[in-house]
A and B are shown apart, each in its own frame.
Chain A
């Protein structure tokens, strides 16, 4: 027997009129009248566009139909690198998202059964569903910003890393002359110095507002017998000035830890510079030394992870998408849990099963139909994913983050205006969704 419950036949068969023919016709007519609006709408908004898209995919780029190109558009689809990336990315999405969303939803659903503020918790987890995917994309894009002063996630990273490796006071500074060389993050004066010598440590790349307020005009200290003296200063004045020379208008850098290293590179003395940038290592035994500023002074602040960069953009998108849909999975699975017969669970517990065994052997198998609904729905959603990628990925990473629906939009409506390739991508996407849909329909029938 035909399992479809949509046809008009069963009620007709159920009420056979005595004088069959005219009455039967009337019944058909009534059926047709009732069906007509739905059929009309389906025809205009579903069937016609679908058929037109399929036909259009065999024609060239512009015009109502353009010219016949055969399967060239489909060849383009599988040979253009941006499109193959899109297909690959969709495969990643399908492999990761439905499974994770279902798993996270299941965990949340089971846990919310046991917590006191279940409703509040559920509301919070479900809330992202109430936000449009586009708004979510924009929000996450801001949170993912690399600059810790903009992106919330990297700001958190900065706070944490600030505790373990604080940024140096002169993190942007660089040497003003090649005489000062970088070694392991520290800046070391290449020319050796001796007791009675003067070490000039000129730095540039320091914005005026980074110079401490106590700072005054830099001076070159007079040499002192037995001491190594010198100065640390902002070796810059408007126009650049003469690098390596302390000039009028150039400020000393106070509070910088200066080290005196011996020939082996070992720090023998360290001191802090004064407001005019000068420093003095007293009673230095004779020998050859190097003046240096330690690496800690120049330690770069946490620059943030490139969540939106080429290597992390796809995982970043997946996280944001799972964040949206986990709530949906939780609610659906939660409903399944609520309708689950309690006596089975009780029985399992009475028989001495642990919580994990109950979950693994009783809850999950009983929930299987619900889990598969969530899983299949997510596969379909993920195949069609568009808006979040469009909103979240920066333009420079579209090629890396591309997905099929986005590729279709760009091919057909942006730039290229190539309706042929756009249609071909749409048809390809349609073909991908069909098996999943078929699976879903078959299950509906079985359950119906």
Chain B
């Protein structure tokens, strides 16, 4: 995740949290009936991205719930903020990492695991198995060992649409990709461009590609590509890019045309689509779009904005697969206090402590959908827990040099693709060259 990306997620979390603050306040004070364990003692240092204005209070409430069970374990949460990847890389290089940390990229977790910096969390396997579908354990496993718990997840297989714009065009949320393209033409005829694309942030483009690839070829093939077991020159990539070109090549149907899309960041792409009058009708991005809409536009949930699931492309078992981004919790040390905390984090009460405040999704299948504070949050977050197949954001899974470097690697190459969507073969070979270089290291 780039700084902007994290900032966006945080902003979204805060906005949603603020929205539901009243609700949350009314619900606090659930009695702690569970048995206390006073034998486990110690202090855990934890480095996270959430700061006092963006998620730290919510995470503190998770820690509070933990302390009801383990009153003698002190969790020392350090709000590092957006610089977390840098701070962590330096701390690990210098030999003084925190006890635990939150990492947004599986690629970075894999790097640390390969260097032997992380401690496996095998002790939490059974708790995780009881609370999560097997796919989630797989997301935290590197070379056969379980290293990470996906504590917080964001649903990326979501499209946000401007309700009045859809109404004016007389279209309803599409179920299939073909319908999406047809609706887009109708929306254009109604006088509003259909798509708002935040192409200045390369990750919005890779997210779109990933959803198309997942919807076309399913989770198994998606994983092969994200692990670079099939090359980017594969015919499947060609098909997916050609599908994507049907959207990003429709210049006159994009907010600001191609050059506008390249200069609009993620935030602008959202505010443009939900301002009055709208400059576009829909945005392809994750659940955290909701927070940006409520904090920087006057659109109201339900009447002003709403969501639909990324339309299906190839029917089949993976038609409802969910792509997620999320926070992986890793441990750099091992002691009873840390073990107790990790195990607790994998249980439903830990997730519920944050989920009921909004801005939070979890793969924990024991968290009831009713915990989410409003209808839209429920619609975007509940599928994360119930989805049969889950894949992690592909660009985050790859070595960061390829998948997460501003203006370079995958992000930069997809921006080139946005500039000229007709050169599919050229883009494929660029992607393969960059991926091969990053995987070689």
Binding site for B on A (CB under 8 A): 60-64, 82, 145-147, 172, 174, 176, 204-210, 236-240, 306, 308-310, 394-399, 402, 410, 413-419
In the bound complex, residues from chain A placing their C-beta under 8 Å from that of B2 are 395, 414
Known interface pairs A63-B93, A415-B406, A419-B93; A398-B170 also in contact (CB < 8 Å) = no
Known interface pairs A238-B167, A395-B201; A415-B409 also in contact (CB < 8 Å) = yes
A402 → chain B, closest Cβ, in Å?
7
Asked if B292 is an interface residue, CB under 8 A from chain A, the answer is: no
Asked if B189 and A147 make an inter-chain contact with CB atoms under 8 angstroms apart, the answer reads: no
| Measured CA separation A410–B418 after assembly (Å) | 22
Asked if B200 and A394 make an inter-chain contact with CB atoms under 8 angstroms apart, the answer reads: yes
7 additional contacts (CB under 8 A) given A82-B412, A240-B169 = A62-B89, A64-B93, A204-B188, A394-B263, A396-B202, A410-B405, A414-B406
| Measured CA separation A376–B171 after assembly (Å) | 63
In the bound complex, residues from chain A placing their C-beta under 8 Å from that of B259 are 146, 306, 309
Asked if B262 and A415 make an inter-chain contact with CB atoms under 8 angstroms apart, the answer reads: no
Residue of A nearest to B261 (CB): A396
In the bound complex, residues from chain B placing their C-beta under 8 Å from that of A146 are 256, 259-260, 263
Asked if B262 and A417 make an inter-chain contact with CB atoms under 8 angstroms apart, the answer reads: no
Asked if A415 and B401 make an inter-chain contact with CB atoms under 8 angstroms apart, the answer reads: yes
| Measured CA separation A82–B409 after assembly (Å) | 10
Known interface pairs A146-B256, A394-B200, A396-B407; A417-B111 also in contact (CB < 8 Å) = yes
Asked if B53 is an interface residue, CB under 8 A from chain A, the answer is: no
Asked if A62 and B401 make an inter-chain contact with CB atoms under 8 angstroms apart, the answer reads: no
B274 → chain A, closest Cβ, in Å?
16
Asked if B79 is an interface residue, CB under 8 A from chain A, the answer is: no
Which B96-134 residues have a C-beta within 8 angstroms of A?
Answer: 108, 111, 115
| Measured CA separation A413–B2 after assembly (Å) | 11
Instruction: List the 6 closest A-B pairs by CB distance, nearest first.
Output: A238-B170, A415-B405, A398-B407, A207-B191, A239-B170, A416-B401
Known interface pairs A207-B190, A236-B190; A62-B405 also in contact (CB < 8 Å) = no
Asked if A398 and B406 make an inter-chain contact with CB atoms under 8 angstroms apart, the answer reads: yes
A346 → chain B, closest Cβ, in Å?
55
| Measured CA separation A210–B265 after assembly (Å) | 27
Asked if B85 is an interface residue, CB under 8 A from chain A, the answer is: yes
In the bound complex, residues from chain A placing their C-beta under 8 Å from that of B260 are 146-147
Known interface pairs A236-B189, A416-B405; A62-B115 also in contact (CB < 8 Å) = yes
In the bound complex, residues from chain A placing their C-beta under 8 Å from that of B94 are 64
Asked if A395 and B169 make an inter-chain contact with CB atoms under 8 angstroms apart, the answer reads: no
In the bound complex, residues from chain A placing their C-beta under 8 Å from that of B411 are 395
| Measured CA separation A205–B265 after assembly (Å) | 25
Asked if B168 and A417 make an inter-chain contact with CB atoms under 8 angstroms apart, the answer reads: no
Asked if B265 and A394 make an inter-chain contact with CB atoms under 8 angstroms apart, the answer reads: yes
A115 → chain B, closest Cβ, in Å?
39
In the bound complex, residues from chain B placing their C-beta under 8 Å from that of A308 are 263
| Measured CA separation A282–B365 after assembly (Å) | 75
Residue of A nearest to B167 (CB): A238
| Measured CA separation A58–B133 after assembly (Å) | 45
Asked if B192 is an interface residue, CB under 8 A from chain A, the answer is: yes
| Measured CA separation A61–B400 after assembly (Å) | 12
Asked if B441 and A61 make an inter-chain contact with CB atoms under 8 angstroms apart, the answer reads: yes
Asked if B189 and A413 make an inter-chain contact with CB atoms under 8 angstroms apart, the answer reads: no
Residue of A nearest to B255 (CB): A147
| Measured CA separation A415–B111 after assembly (Å) | 12
Which B319-353 residues have a C-beta within 8 angstroms of A?
Answer: none
In the bound complex, residues from chain A placing their C-beta under 8 Å from that of B86 are 413-414
Asked if B170 and A414 make an inter-chain contact with CB atoms under 8 angstroms apart, the answer reads: no
| Measured CA separation A209–B192 after assembly (Å) | 11
Known interface pairs A238-B170, A396-B202; A82-B190 also in contact (CB < 8 Å) = no
Residue of B nearest to A82 (CB): B408
In the bound complex, residues from chain B placing their C-beta under 8 Å from that of A309 are 259, 262-263
A266 → chain B, closest Cβ, in Å?
31
In the bound complex, residues from chain B placing their C-beta under 8 Å from that of A415 are 400-401, 403-406, 408-409
Binding site for A on B (CB under 8 A): 2, 4, 85-86, 89, 93-95, 108, 111, 115, 167-171, 186, 188-192, 199-202, 252, 256, 259-260, 262-263, 265, 277, 400-401, 403-409, 411-412, 415, 418-419, 441
- 20 interchain pairs (CB within 8 A)? A82-B407, A147-B260, A204-B188, A204-B189, A207-B192, A310-B419, A395-B4, A396-B199, A396-B200, A396-B262, A396-B407, A402-B407, A410-B408, A413-B86, A415-B404, A415-B408, A415-B409, A417-B111, A417-B401, A418-B401
In the bound complex, residues from chain A placing their C-beta under 8 Å from that of B201 are 395
Contact of B412 among A60, A240, A399 (CB under 8 A): A399
A258 → chain B, closest Cβ, in Å?
21
In the bound complex, residues from chain A placing their C-beta under 8 Å from that of B186 are 239-240
In the bound complex, residues from chain B placing their C-beta under 8 Å from that of A418 are 401, 441
Residue of A nearest to B85 (CB): A417
In the bound complex, residues from chain B placing their C-beta under 8 Å from that of A145 are 263
| Measured CA separation A416–B398 after assembly (Å) | 11
| Measured CA separation A417–B105 after assembly (Å) | 13
Asked if B400 and A416 make an inter-chain contact with CB atoms under 8 angstroms apart, the answer reads: yes
Residue of B nearest to A235 (CB): B189
| Measured CA separation A414–B403 after assembly (Å) | 11
Residue of A nearest to B402 (CB): A415
In the bound complex, residues from chain B placing their C-beta under 8 Å from that of A410 are 405-408
A83 → chain B, closest Cβ, in Å?
10
| Measured CA separation A172–B170 after assembly (Å) | 20
Residue of A nearest to B200 (CB): A394
Asked if A62 and B191 make an inter-chain contact with CB atoms under 8 angstroms apart, the answer reads: no
| Measured CA separation A323–B265 after assembly (Å) | 26
In the bound complex, residues from chain B placing their C-beta under 8 Å from that of A60 are 441
Asked if B256 and A208 make an inter-chain contact with CB atoms under 8 angstroms apart, the answer reads: no
In the bound complex, residues from chain B placing their C-beta under 8 Å from that of A395 are 2, 4, 200-202, 265, 406-407, 411, 415
In the bound complex, residues from chain A placing their C-beta under 8 Å from that of B419 are 310
Known interface pairs A82-B408, A413-B86, A417-B400; A62-B263 also in contact (CB < 8 Å) = no
Residue of A nearest to B165 (CB): A207
Known interface pairs A205-B189, A240-B170, A419-B93; A399-B408 also in contact (CB < 8 Å) = yes
In the bound complex, residues from chain B placing their C-beta under 8 Å from that of A399 are 407-408, 412
Asked if B277 and A207 make an inter-chain contact with CB atoms under 8 angstroms apart, the answer reads: yes
Known interface pairs A146-B260, A309-B262, A417-B85; A176-B401 also in contact (CB < 8 Å) = no
| Measured CA separation A123–B265 after assembly (Å) | 35
Looking at A206, A240, A310, which has the most chain B CB atoms within 10 Å of its CB?
A240
In the bound complex, residues from chain B placing their C-beta under 8 Å from that of A147 are 256, 260
Known interface pairs A204-B189, A398-B406, A413-B89; A62-B262 also in contact (CB < 8 Å) = no
Asked if A205 and B262 make an inter-chain contact with CB atoms under 8 angstroms apart, the answer reads: no
| Measured CA separation A147–B260 after assembly (Å) | 8
In the bound complex, residues from chain B placing their C-beta under 8 Å from that of A209 are 277
A362 → chain B, closest Cβ, in Å?
49
| Measured CA separation A29–B181 after assembly (Å) | 82
In the bound complex, residues from chain A placing their C-beta under 8 Å from that of B406 are 395, 398, 410, 414-415
In the bound complex, residues from chain A placing their C-beta under 8 Å from that of B400 are 415-417
Contact of A208 among B108, B168, B188, B403 (CB under 8 A): B168
B266 → chain A, closest Cβ, in Å?
10
| Measured CA separation A147–B419 after assembly (Å) | 18
Looking at A205, A395, A418, which has the most chain B CB atoms within 10 Å of its CB?
A395
A72 → chain B, closest Cβ, in Å?
10
Contact of B191 among A82, A208, A394 (CB under 8 A): A208
| Measured CA separation A63–B111 after assembly (Å) | 11
| Measured CA separation A417–B167 after assembly (Å) | 47
| Measured CA separation A309–B406 after assembly (Å) | 16
Residue of A nearest to B190 (CB): A236
| Measured CA separation A86–B169 after assembly (Å) | 47
In the bound complex, residues from chain B placing their C-beta under 8 Å from that of A174 are 252
Contact of A240 among B93, B189, B191 (CB under 8 A): B189
Residue of A nearest to B414 (CB): A396
Residue of A nearest to B183 (CB): A240
